[in-house]
Amino acid sequence: MNCKVFFIMAAVAVAAADRRPYSYSAPQFSSEEFGPAEYNFDWAVQHSDSGNNFGHEEARDGDDTQGSYFVQLPDGRLQTVRFAVNGDSGFVPEVSYEGEARYPDSFESFESFESRESRRYAPPRPVYG
């Protein structure tokens, strides 16, 4: 009896699933509805404890986009990228650096002896038993 009920329920489920009451199509948008793209934004992060300093600004009016972004590099320089996009010309960057790159003379200027020792690789000791 249970098998008959199961098969009847399965047949009803298959028949119900075969119907397609909805039709799906891509949404239709017109550029006249929205107009040309226009925006302006900027943001920045400066956290002295971690040394993070970066940001981005951009403005767009139709096909004309201009902006810049910057990041504080680990060697002490500030890298700035100014860019423009006008129509189909593509992304046109101009990269500049402020400051002079500084590199440490040795690890001692950044770390203590104990922290340097703990970072060295040592193969595991053999265990005989």
Per the domain annotation, does 14 fall within a domain? no
Per the domain annotation, does 109 fall within a domain? yes
pLDDT at 118: 56
- What does the alpha-carbon distance between residue 82 and residue 71 come to, in Å, rounded to a whole number? 12
Tens digits of residue pLDDT in 42-82: 999 998 888 889 999 999 998 899 999 999 998 889 999 99
Per the domain annotation, does 80 fall within a domain? yes
Tens digits of residue pLDDT in 21-33: 667 788 777 666 6
Q: What percent of the chain has pLDDT over 70?
A: 77
**Residue 110 pLDDT > 90:** no
Instruction: Mark 109-127 as b/e (b = at least 16 C-beta within 10 Å).
Output: eeeeeeeeeeeeeeeeeee
For residues 11 and 107, the model is more confident at: 11
Q: Which domain holds residue 102?
A: 35-129
pTM: 0.55
Domain count, the chain: 1
Per the domain annotation, does 10 fall within a domain? no
